[in-house]
A and B are shown apart, each in its own frame.
Chain A
Amino acid sequence: MILISCPDCGARDETEFHYGGQAHVPYPEDPSTLSDEEWGRYLFYRENTKGIFAERWVHSSGCRKWFNVLRDTVTYRIAAVYRNGEPRPTLDGDSQ
């Protein structure tokens, strides 16, 4: 059980939330122009990072808002929580 700090409601148990997978995946601007390969990549391919991963959660049993989390997929430790629409924060030690 991980403890997740909802930006609006504060720290709550993981069971109050649902997972949304990789964050920052925009809907294609003009889907009709995509090839089958490009559409398939949008539908089925997501990053599967081992390490710090930007991902979406929704506070289903609380405010019901989506937000983003930077979480280490090996230790499961949460490094940052930020609101929908905000850019991915830079962490100490980030190479970029």
Chain B
Amino acid sequence: MADLLPEHPDFLWRNPEPKSSYDVVIIGGGGHGLATAYYLAKNHGITNVAVLERGWLAGGNMARNTTIIRSNYLWDESAAIYEHSLKQWEVLPDELDYDFLFSQRGVLNLAHTLQDVRDSVRRCEANRLNGVDAEWLDADQVKEVCPIINTSDDIRYPVLGATYQPRAGIAKHDHVAWAFARKADELGVDLIQDCEVTGIVKDGNRVVGVQTSRGTISAGKVALCAAGHSSVLAEMAGFDLPIQSHPLQALVSELHQPVHPTVVMSNHVHVYVSQAHKGELVMGAGVDAYNGYGQRGGFHVIEEQMAAAVELFPIFARAHLLRTWGGIVDVTPDASPVVSKTPIDQLYVNCGWGTGGFKGTPGAGWTMAHTIAHDEPHEYNAPFALERFSTGALIDEHGAAAVAH
């Protein structure tokens, strides 16, 4: 039998020693950092780039998310960047030559109250005006898409209908990271693990390098892509971010036969559920209330999401919880990301994706790479600059974000 097994793959990237200097240093080797490096090389020809990761590649939120991909956000600015991201998801398996199991199985965002229905129908119409596939389904149509949902009217919060985005889906998160990492490495990017940034080196108001646990590295430009630790890095650099870091938990059940054909999210009873390719039910909910950097949260949050899941899916009642975990999400006041220049010259920040960063991986990388290369934002991330917190031009996506922040 042994000779029938595939060869163990070679390492997907080199593990180089850090050089003393790079044109661009990206802090954070998660999905967003890796995608930024990839698009810097591919779209802009900038390959003298290092991605510094304090742990191992994609070991933070990239390893902890629930892999949901969709673009059905309300406002024009959001639709533009999330839909661009979804369009990249659709071509990336070929482009990166890596089948990371992107499965466009659709997403249902459930409505349980009259106000939910009104908001959802409005969001569908806004989506369609922005070229995002979206339709409103009544409860019977919801049942056709996902037969295991309880659409009876005798539960506490009956399902009145849902928005449906057929092009939404899931992907295998670790393979996504490895796909970006392998291609970025091939294009010449140095991926440096076990390298924690301990300080930002400046000359006047201009960033010129970083101090790390593996020595000082000088850099023409520096990009922060550190999600939950963005505030810590910004403080090192001498500026503030409108970010609060919270624990966000997720969980999986044991492996089951395929029963759940799509992705279901409920803002109101507060759970989101899909079934991974291997068969485990993957669930998440809202953040823990308090600020936290501990990568863990309270069990009462798990308990509430399980209660919501069982009410919506009675078939799950006897499924066993296999594993729970937590990540640290960087939450902004308007539930929209910050992809922006900073008050420090040649220093850029990508953060604030909160509970929804995975889906934004290609869009964040694409626009961040453009911002770094041109020292100007791309049209898709210009509205997501830090300036909106003084101009007041917020992009409030608390409704479409689908979980409480």
Instruction: Spell out A's residues near B (CB within 8 Å).
Output: 1-2, 13-15, 18-19, 21, 36-37, 39-41, 43-46, 48-50, 53, 55, 71, 73-76
Q: Is the CB of B240 within 8 A of A73?
A: no
Q: Which of B27-35, B193-201, B288-296, B373-381 contacts A (4 or more CB under 8 A)?
A: B288-296
Q: Which residues of A contact B389 (CB under 8 A)?
A: 40, 43-45
CB under 8 Å from chain A, chain B span 229-246: 229, 231-232, 240-245
B258: interface (CB < 8 Å): no
User: Taking chain A's interface residues, is the majority helix, strand, or loop, or is none over half, making it mixed?
Assistant: mixed
* Separation of A82 and B242 alpha carbons in the complex (Å): 26
Contact partner of B291 (CB less than 8 A), chosen from A15, A36, A41, A53, is A53
Q: Which residues of A contact B244 (CB under 8 A)?
A: 21, 46, 48
B20: interface (CB < 8 Å): no
B300: interface (CB < 8 Å): yes
* Separation of A39 and B33 alpha carbons in the complex (Å): 32
Chain A residue, CB-CB nearest to B296: A76
- Given A14-B298, A36-B391, A37-B390, A19:B289 Cβ within 8 A: yes
Q: Is the CB of B293 within 8 A of A74?
A: yes
User: Taking chain B's interface residues, is the majority helix, strand, or loop, or is none over half, making it mixed?
Assistant: loop
Q: Is the CB of B292 within 8 A of A44?
A: no
- Given A40-B389, A44-B389, A73:B292 Cβ within 8 A: yes
Chain B 372-404, CB-CB to A under 8 Å as 1, else 0, gives 000000000000000001111000000000000
Chain B residue, CB-CB nearest to A14: B298
Q: Which residue among A21, A48, A50, A73 has the maximum number of chain B CB atoms within 10 Å of its CB? A: A48
* Separation of A75 and B391 alpha carbons in the complex (Å): 36
* Separation of A40 and B392 alpha carbons in the complex (Å): 8
- Given A46-B244, A48-B244, A1:B299 Cβ within 8 A: yes
B333: interface (CB < 8 Å): yes
Interface residues contributed by chain B, number (CB under 8 Å): 23
Q: Which residues of B contact A36 (CB under 8 A)?
A: 390-392
* Separation of A15 and B298 alpha carbons in the complex (Å): 10
Chain B min CB distance to A35 (Å):
8
Q: Is the CB of B290 within 8 A of A55?
A: yes
* Separation of A1 and B297 alpha carbons in the complex (Å): 7
Q: Which residues of A contact B290 (CB under 8 A)?
A: 2, 19, 55, 71, 73, 76
Contact partner of B333 (CB less than 8 A), chosen from A15, A44, A71, is A44
CB under 8 Å from chain A, chain B span 285-335: 289-294, 298-300, 333
- Given A36-B390, A40-B392, A45:B240 Cβ within 8 A: yes
Chain B residue, CB-CB nearest to A50: B293
Q: Is the CB of A75 within 8 A of B294?
A: yes
* Separation of A45 and B343 alpha carbons in the complex (Å): 15
Chain A residue, CB-CB nearest to B292: A73
Chain B residue, CB-CB nearest to A13: B300
Q: Is the CB of A21 within 8 A of B242?
A: no
Q: Which residues of A contact B300 (CB under 8 A)?
A: 1, 13-15
Chain A min CB distance to B1 (Å):
47
Contact partner of A48 (CB less than 8 A), chosen from B291, B298, B390, B391, is B291
Chain B min CB distance to A15 (Å):
5
Chain B min CB distance to A40 (Å):
4
Chain B min CB distance to A60 (Å):
11
CB under 8 Å from chain A, chain B span 60-92: none
Chain B residue, CB-CB nearest to A17: B289
Q: Which residues of B contact A48 (CB under 8 A)?
A: 231-232, 241, 243-245, 291
Given contacts A43-B389, A44-B333, 9 further A-B contacts (CB under 8 A): A40-B392, A41-B390, A48-B241, A50-B229, A50-B231, A50-B232, A74-B292, A75-B294, A76-B292
Q: Which residues of A contact B391 (CB under 8 A)?
A: 36, 40
Q: Is the CB of A18 within 8 A of B289?
A: yes
24 A-B residue pairs with Cβ-Cβ distance under 8 Å, sorted by A, are A1-B298, A2-B290, A2-B298, A13-B300, A14-B289, A14-B298, A19-B289, A19-B290, A37-B390, A39-B390, A44-B242, A45-B240, A45-B241, A45-B242, A45-B389, A46-B242, A46-B244, A50-B231, A50-B245, A50-B293, A55-B290, A73-B291, A74-B293, A75-B294
* Separation of A37 and B343 alpha carbons in the complex (Å): 13
Q: Which residues of B contact A13 (CB under 8 A)?
A: 300
Chain B min CB distance to A72 (Å):
9
* Separation of A36 and B243 alpha carbons in the complex (Å): 19
Q: Which residue among B241, B243, B290, B294 has the maximum number of chain A CB atoms within 10 Å of its CB? A: B290
